[in-house]
Amino acid sequence: MELKSFKILAPGNSLRRRVGYSLALVRLVLVPVILLAVYYLFTMGLIVDRIVNVDAPVTNLAEQISVEMLDARRAERSYFLLRDAEYLKANQQALQRLKQLADKVADLSSQERPRTMLILQNVRLYEQEFGDAVALAREPGGSAIERAQQVVRAYEENLNDLLKAAHHKTRAQLIDSLRNQVGSFDTEITRTMEAGDPTLRQAAPALQNSSEQVLQGASELEARSWERVQYDHAEARHLLYSAEWVLSIVSGLTLLLSIWISFVLPRQVVKPLVELRQAVDDAIAGNYLIDFELRGQGEIVELAKSVRRLIEHVQQTA
């Protein structure tokens, strides 16, 4: 009979360790997928948090600042028309709410603090100018009712002039003109009061300028915040698109690597066992001319040595 040689290659010290290493390596290839998923989720969370808790609230607060400034101007005109202390209180309350809104903006967004400081500076300037105008304004001729009647008469004259020229305009043009005229009632009040009070006429440009500076600052603040909302939204969409591609690619590579590992590593365990089974089958068939080429250590090598001793013992007793 021909001498047969079987290679028992068992790298490593222990079968149990090799199996443990194989399982650990298969699990390890999942780490990039998990880390990338955590990174994209964390980054997306930061963007959404910035939109919800900073940019969008600042946009809303900037809009409210403009509304409060317009309310303050409306109370200012009403005071100069009727000299009612309630309008002074309404003006002060609107400005106080405006300051609180500006402070909230500064607390939410540190990068907008210079702009909010400028808004507050113009608000204080407006307060000072309005206070000076209230202190110096003299009582126009007539009672408050007469001053209101004077404003209404001036407004009525403008409406009459507009209607007289209506036959030269189309219906759409007439409606637009009427809308503009209705929206200019506050302007008519200011113009009439300035005509009757030199002190108010002198203070009106300063009040107008400071209030417009506040409105302009609030408008710029709102525009900048809205731009950041749009930028963050675009960044979130881009990040989501990148996450889909990167995670798909990494998941595919990880799957291929895990499949390769699942085929390669078990082969190192199964192949030596197959060689041992063939050696035992030859010995059962009566061929005791068997040689083992042993490499490595561990349970499989020890098993091969035991099989070799068993075959040698059977050969001696046969």
More confident residue, 171 or 273: 273
Q: By the 8 A CB rule, do 314 and 290 touch? A: no
Report the Cα–Cα distance between both ends of the chain, in Å, rounded. Answer: 16
Residue 186 lies in a domain: yes
The listed range with the strongest mean pLDDT (88-97, 227-236, 269-278) is 88-97
Q: What is the pLDDT of residue 141?
A: 47
Has residue 35 been placed in a domain?
no
Q: Is residue 253 part of a domain?
A: no
Whole-number average pLDDT of the chain: 76
Please write the tens of the pLDDT for every residue from 115-134.
999 999 999 999 998 888 88
- CATH number of domain containing 188: 1.20.120
With respect to residue 15, please indicate whether it lies within any of the assigned structural domains: no
For the stretch 178-230, pLDDT in tens is 566 555 555 555 555 555 555 566 667 788 889 899 999 999 999 999 898 88
Domain presence at residue 260: no
Q: Is residue 248 part of a domain?
A: no
Mean per-residue pLDDT, 301-307: 78
Q: How far apart are CA 55 and CA 302, in angstroms?
A: 70
Residue 142 pLDDT more than 50? no
Residue 213 placed within a domain: yes
This prediction has a pTM of 0.61
pLDDT at 65: 94
What range defines the domain where residue 197 resides? Answer: 52-223
**Mean pLDDT confidence for 240-244:** 84
pLDDT of residue 278: 80
Residue 178 lies inside a defined structural domain of this protein = yes
Q: Which two tokens stand for residue 30?
A: 């999942």
The count of structural domains within the chain is 1
